[in-house]
């Protein structure tokens, strides 16, 4: 008699199975899973709060289970955004939520929660924001969803998923100077396209990933959604353990994929010759080597966001721009992603470097990334940004343009007034 072999599971499948109370799950299966953290911001939380009230619910499932972070239009840019933030504040006070972060404590949500140890490896995290997939860099299953589904999770502590197929990405070789996680994920999106991982788990592996710092891992997971991914994920290891030790507020669980796990696609990349990448308008898949963009003049540079606003990102930008000046008629805006990052950058002298170069430094906010405020583009203007999207009108006027890059390229471009390889600026010091 032939016995059917039970195949192994991917890290994504293992986390979902554990939270669904099942020994095994398979791609395409519909499950109900317990959620460890549900989060929302000042744009998406008001909808969830209204749906919560319309349901007749009076209390959230668990006050330690929800994180509200007003970060998109905060500090408030106008009366409407002030009303949105007030709704979050009132709800957090009413429900006595543990994790509410106002101006002075808040940061860009997807940088703040890992920093605070609120999300840990092995978690299931949902958020009414597409870049909730960031936490996969820690080895958590995290994904964005609509505010109505989030409201239901506020009440029940659970949500439903269709288990995604998994794609495996293997990165080989050794990275060149000025090349990091942002370049790896842009190169990947350029290869598979903005719908190349539609409703799939993107699992990042290989020797390059194994040596990649946590900030770069979070960057890669953050942009999984730009390829249509349900989630991005990296198996936790010694680098993860070092990061969460002393900050994790709950016990982390380290899951890894089985050696016989099944993937719907496997892609391998030789990274030793990879150059800094730039995504041209108007899609993150329109990726080119930085040298191909050297004749493109710019009007604005933004260093920040949930993708590249961490301390190592600011250090990288400062290393390039130190002792230089922002080009005449170019605006450079630097936004540390959290208050803790802001303070650390100040103590290290990074903010002095930026200000002496002629850049503006802001308190944490998502503002310019979504064309909200603090860096709106006029008709015909071009920006280089360390953000995650460059859709039509993403940062302002529909006839403006956004080019996505890593922090070093952004800083070098601010100096020359055109998209520039960082080595060009550093070698001329």
Taking residues 99-112, what's their average pLDDT? 92
Question: pLDDT tens digits, residue range 264-290?
Answer: 999 999 999 999 999 999 999 999 999
pLDDT one-digit tens code per residue, 326-369: 999 999 999 999 999 999 999 999 999 999 999 999 999 999 99
- Segment (H or E) for 343: helix 339-347
**pLDDT computed for residue 319 by the predictor:** 97
| Residue of higher predicted confidence among 62 and 426 | 62
**Domain final position from 230, 259, 274:** 274
Same domain (yes/no): 31, 108 = yes
Helical pair 311-321 and 350-357, crossing angle rounded to 10 deg? 40
- Same domain, yes or no: 35 and 91: yes
pLDDT reported for residue 362: 94
Residue 3 domain-assigned? Answer: no
Q: Where would I find the beta strands (DSSP E) of 63-177?
A: 66-69, 99-100, 124-127, 141-144, 158-162, 165-172
Q: Quick one: 89 and 24 in the same domain?
A: yes
Taking the CA atoms of the chain, what radius of gyration do you get in angstroms? 21
DSSP code of residue 368? G
φ, ψ for residue 394, nearest 5 deg = -60, -35
Question: Which domain does 130 fall in, by range?
Answer: 8-274
Phi, psi of 414 (to 5 degrees): -65, -35
Sign (positive or negative) of CA dihedral 259, 260, 263, 265: positive
Q: Which residues contact 293 (CB under 8 A, 6 or more apart)?
A: 278, 280, 403, 419
How would residue 6 be classed by pLDDT, with cut points 50, 70 and 90? low
In a domain, 42, yes or no: yes
Output the average pLDDT for the chain.
Answer: 95
Specify the pLDDT at position 428: 72
Rounded to 5 degrees, φ, ψ at 99 are -110, 85
Banded pLDDT at 426 (limits 50, 70, 90): confident
User: What is the model's pLDDT at position 40?
Assistant: 95
Q: Residue 258 pLDDT > 80, yes or no?
A: yes
pLDDT at 82: 94
Identify whether residues 307 and 267 lie together within a single domain.
no
Check whether residue 233 and residue 117 sit in a common domain.
yes
Please indicate, yes or no, whether residues 220 and 361 belong to a single structural domain of this protein: no
Q: Do 164 and 49 lie in a common domain?
A: yes
Beta bridge partners of 212: none
Given this model, what pLDDT does residue 1 score?
Answer: 34
Alpha-carbon distance 342 to 345, whole Å?
5
Report which DSSP code applies to 297. Answer: B
Same domain, 171 and 297: no
Distant-in-sequence, close-in-space partners of 329: CB < 8 Å, separation ≥ 6? 299, 417
Residue with tokens 């920040």, as numbered in its chain: 304
Over residues 124-181, the pLDDT tens digits come to 999 999 999 999 999 999 999 999 999 999 999 999 999 999 999 999 999 999 999 9
* Cβ count near 245 (within 10 Å): 10
Contact between residue 283 and residue 289 where contact means Cβ atoms under 8 Å apart: no
Report the number of distinct structural domains present in the chain. 2
Please give the helix or strand (H or E) that residue 415 lies within, else none.
helix 407-416
* Domain match, 270 and 281 both: no
Q: Is the pLDDT of residue 220 over 80?
A: yes
Task: List the Cα angle 362/295/280 in 5-degree steps.
Answer: 60
CATH of the domain at 171: 3.30.499.10
pLDDT of residue 295: 85
Question: What's the whole-number mean pLDDT along residues 298-320?
Answer: 97
């Amino acid at each position: 008699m032939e016995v059917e072999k039970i195949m192994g599971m991917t890290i994504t499948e293992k986390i979902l199975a554990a939270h669904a109370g099942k020994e095994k799950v398979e791609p395409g299966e519909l499950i109900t899973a317990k959620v460890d953290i549900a989060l929302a911001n000042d744009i998406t939380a008001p909808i969830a709060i209204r749906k919560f009230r319309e349901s007749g619910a009076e209390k959230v499932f668990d006050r330690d289970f929800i994180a509200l972070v007003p970060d998109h239009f905060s500090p408030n840019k106008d009366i409407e955004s002030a009303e949105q933030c007030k709704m979050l504040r009132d709800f957090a006070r009413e429900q006595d939520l543990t994790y509410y972060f106002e101006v002075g404590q808040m940061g860009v949500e997807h940088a703040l929660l890992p920093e605070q140890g609120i999300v840990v490896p092995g978690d299931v995290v949902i958020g009414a924001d597409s870049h909730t997939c960031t936490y996969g860099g820690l080895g958590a299953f995290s994904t964005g969803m609509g505010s109505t589904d989030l409201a239901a999770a506020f009440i029940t502590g659970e949500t439903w998923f269709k288990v995604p197929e998994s794609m495996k990405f293997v990165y080989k070789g050794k990275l060149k100077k000025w090349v990091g996680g942002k370049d790896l994920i842009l190169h990947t999106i350029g290869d598979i396209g903005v719908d190349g991982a539609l409703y799939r788990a993107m699992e990042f592996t290989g020797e390059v990933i194994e040596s990649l710092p946590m900030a770069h891992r979070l960057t890669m997971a953050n942009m999984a959604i730009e390829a249509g991914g349900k989630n991005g994920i990296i198996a936790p290891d010694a680098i993860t353990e070092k990061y969460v030790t002393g900050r994790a507020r709950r016990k982390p669980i380290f899951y890894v994929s089985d050696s016989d796990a099944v993937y719907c696609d496997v892609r391998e990349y030789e990274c030793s010759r990879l150059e800094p990448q730039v995504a041209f308008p108007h899609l993150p898949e329109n990726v080119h080597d930085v040298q191909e963009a050297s004749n493109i003049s710019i009007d604005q540079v933004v260093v920040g966001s949930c993708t590249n606003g961490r301390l190592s990102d600011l250090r990288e930008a400062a290393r390039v721009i130190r002792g230089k000046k922002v080009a005449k008629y170019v605006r450079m805006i630097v936004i540390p992603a959290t208050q803790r990052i802001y303070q650390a950058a100040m103590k290290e002298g990074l903010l002095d470097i930026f200000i002496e170069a002629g850049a503006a430094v802001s308190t944490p906010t998502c503002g310019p990334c979504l064309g909200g405020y603090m860096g709106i583009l006029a008709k015909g203007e071009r920006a280089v940004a360390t953000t995650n999207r460059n859709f039509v009108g993403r940062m302002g006027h529909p006839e403006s343009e956004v080019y996505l890059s890593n922090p070093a390229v952004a800083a070098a471009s601010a100096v020359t007034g055109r998209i520039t390889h960082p080595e060009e600026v550093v070698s001329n010091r």
